[in-house]
Amino acid sequence: MPYILLFSLFIGCSGPIVIESDQTVTTVDHAAWDTLLQKHVDAEGNVDYKGFTKDRTALADYLKVLGQFPIADDADKNERLAYYINLYNAGTIQLILENYPLTSIKDISRPWGKNIIPIGDNMYSLGAIEHKILRKMNEPRIHFAINCASYSCPKLLNEAYTANKIDAQLEQTTKNFINDPKRNTIETDKVTLSKIFNWFKKDFTKNGSLLEYVDRYAKTTIDKNAKINYRNYDWSLNEIK
């Protein structure tokens, strides 16, 4: 039976302090990741990768704890969402730092295909976490929470996702992304959307049309017959200039 894992991991500490644990856990404290995000990510979701390199040990320690104490399959859904979203984002940052400096995540060979994330006894790729775990959880808003280190991606939230706040966090990140004119242009009779809506269309259309999904969050009311175009994707590194 899984136990609750409590740990403290702060910048400058020698490592995680595990109070009680087993192979899987039902809840994880993401305070360490929250500290790193607040320190190195601005309000626009841009990352100070150069500064982040100084905290690579703290990032590695956080990922090590997540890997050694994976969230249980029967844990609360919000706990699992927070665990895997934070794991994906932290793993992406680590991948960038391991190859920094660079101009795009696409400068890295197979960035989403390599097994680089340990979870328990297994190794996962970023792609596997996204497609085989997160997308299976029937929560399309995850697409606005996970970040691919690129300017056209949804902003990297500068706080950790936590189970007690995750519904509000996902709701806000979805609203922010859909109404961000740098990523989507919403007019009543036509919309130019991020390619995320094209790549993962089936995730957004399980209970209606794509326009209906977007209209639910858009500040501008969209006609049901509006024309849809898709914006070119900017894979430039989401780095603070």
pLDDT tens for each residue of the chain, 241 residues long? 444 444 433 333 333 333 344 489 999 999 999 999 999 999 999 999 999 999 999 999 999 999 999 999 999 999 999 999 999 999 999 999 999 999 999 999 999 999 999 999 999 999 999 999 999 999 999 999 999 999 999 999 999 999 999 999 999 999 999 999 999 999 999 999 999 999 999 999 999 999 999 999 999 999 999 999 999 999 999 999 8
pLDDT digits (tens, 9 = 90+) for 80-124: 999 999 999 999 999 999 999 999 999 999 999 999 999 999 999
Q: Are strands 17-18 and 227-230 parallel, antiparallel or unpaired?
A: unpaired
Tokens 């017959």 sit on residue: 225
Element (H, E) at 7: strand 7-8
State if pTM tops 0.85: yes
Q: Encode burial over 181-209: b for 16+ CB neighbours within 10 A, e otherwise.
A: eebbebeeeebbbbebbeebeebbeeeee
Q: Which two tokens stand for residue 71?
A: 């969230």
